[in-house]
Amino acid sequence: MLDTWFSSWLWPLSTLGWPNEQARDLKAFYPTDVLVTAPEILFFWVARMIMAGYAFLERAPYHTVYLHGTARDTQHRRMSKSLGNGVDPMDVVSLYGADAFRWTLIAGLGIGADVILDPADLEKSFSPGRNFATKLWNIGRFLLSNLGDAPVRPLVDIDRRRFALPDLWVLERFDGAVAECDGALGPLQPTKAADDADGRHWRADERYAGLRLNEYAESARRFVWNELADWYLESVKGRLGADAEPNDREVARAVLLHVFDGALRLLHPVVPFITEALWQKLPGRKPGEFLIRADWPRLGAAPDGGRGKEFELVRDAVLAVRQIRGDYNVAPGKTLDVIILSPSDRRVYDDNASTIGRLARARVTVGSGAAPESAAHAVLRGGSEVVVPLAGLIDVDKECQRLRGELEALEKQIVSREQRLANPKYVERAPEHVVRSDRATLDEMISKRGQLSEKVRTLCGA
């Protein structure tokens, strides 16, 4: 009982010199800020700490209690030594690294959610962290090889009129990622109000903000993986080579260094070892500089105006071409002829045709008018259209025969399902969830029929 009562009731006070209320440590460190704990001891320990704080020092020992989830096994039992169902962190670290261990837990512990781990299958349990750690390391090595070792001009020294569309887009997305991370982490302490003497009471609009660590981790991951690596780095490869135009290369390197440096800062609290190792390799690092002591990224990297959103049109076009390539089983290495018909955004597609072509492995022509026959179509935002002539790429007659056969078989399934649902006896006698499932399946079939019919019309002419 002494251990329980001491560690819960008196811990925040006695370790700092209480009952001597003039103790130096007590004045310096009481109250503290945040208590991090699991919810099962909320009443037994946390409430007692707060009651003792008010009873003896007339204020709570902290302004925030962060209740995280609990690590449980596949039977949803809390991990414990007595049950023998725990995971030794050092086993995970030796297999996959500390960053993989940290990422799996932080990314998996949403508010009100527990993380499920299988002590008998560490590979499966920690594959999310291992996969991300590996991806981040590979992104960093690839980016550093393209960036080179030569000094890079600071972004603030670059005339913003020299930014290309992908530069504007990635800077805007980086600002967005910083804002998302800041919002997920929330304010570090309550905003001091006029009627709040000690400045330790959360306003109503602040009480549910912040400490969403899984959302913070996901925002940082999405930027570095889905936006920086998948799109920006791919779009600027041609501007980073030794034969690129020197001024444009300078701009691309400045932007790339700025956003990757910022991405590493965002990720550092979650995966500190890989981010520190990569940050040390960035051009311009000085002896004695460490990422752990670097400033947190701030908003304001992107120029005003929001022009970077035009790059979304470029991404849509590239994704449409890739989708068509997949739908018609065109070999990934085959260069396609692509026509973009755009009534309203022709300038964007004209200016970025080479980027679209490089990312989609295609020869891009921007025009207007009617689309050629025997072609695949995809409608983009704003009414633009991607057209890929398929003659010579596939056997059009054979593909039309296949599509018509698939459409005919689907039509029979739709008729059968409609007849079943039109039968009052079936609807009355079948379980409600089965009827709901049938109706949802019918809706999916009808949607697919529309897509197949459009494919037949555009490719086969009827």
What is the pLDDT averaged over residues 289-302?
A: 89
Distance CA 377, CA 389 (A): 9
Torsion of CA 360, 365, 370, 372, to 10 degrees: -60
Distance CA 311, CA 169 (A): 6
What is the pLDDT averaged over residues 124-129?
A: 95
pLDDT at 271: 97
Distance CA 123, CA 81 (A): 21
Domains of the chain: 1-67 (no CATH), 129-293 (1.10.730.10), 308-389 (3.30.2320), 396-460 (1.10.287)
**Nearest residue to 388 via CA among 449, 322, 293:** 322
Widest CA span in the chain: 92
Q: Is 158 within 8 Å of 282 (Cβ atoms)?
A: no
Summarised one tens digit per residue, pLDDT across range 189-203 is: 887 766 666 666 787
What is the pLDDT averaged over residues 311-325?
A: 93
- Prior bond of 151 cis (ω within 30°): no
**Nearest residue to 381 via CA among 432, 304, 310:** 310
Phi (first) and psi of residue 363, to 5 degrees: -100, 115
pLDDT at 459: 75
Distance CA 348, CA 255 (A): 21
pLDDT at 209: 80
What is the pLDDT averaged over residues 416-436?
A: 89
pLDDT at 88: 93
pLDDT at 343: 77
Q: In terms of pTM, does the model score above 0.95?
A: no
**If DSSP codes are grouped into helix, strand and coil, which group holds residue 21?**
coil
Side chain identity at residue 173, one-letter code: R
What is the pLDDT averaged over residues 422-444?
A: 89
Distance CA 211, CA 219 (A): 14
Summarised one tens digit per residue, pLDDT across range 346-371 is: 899 999 999 999 999 999 999 876 66
pLDDT at 380: 84
What is the pLDDT averaged over residues 375-379?
A: 81
What is the pLDDT averaged over residues 404-432?
A: 89
Count other C-beta atoms under 10 Å from residue 432's C-beta.
8
pLDDT at 39: 86
Distance CA 359, CA 165 (A): 15
Summarised one tens digit per residue, pLDDT across range 256-269 is: 999 999 999 999 99
pLDDT at 176: 94
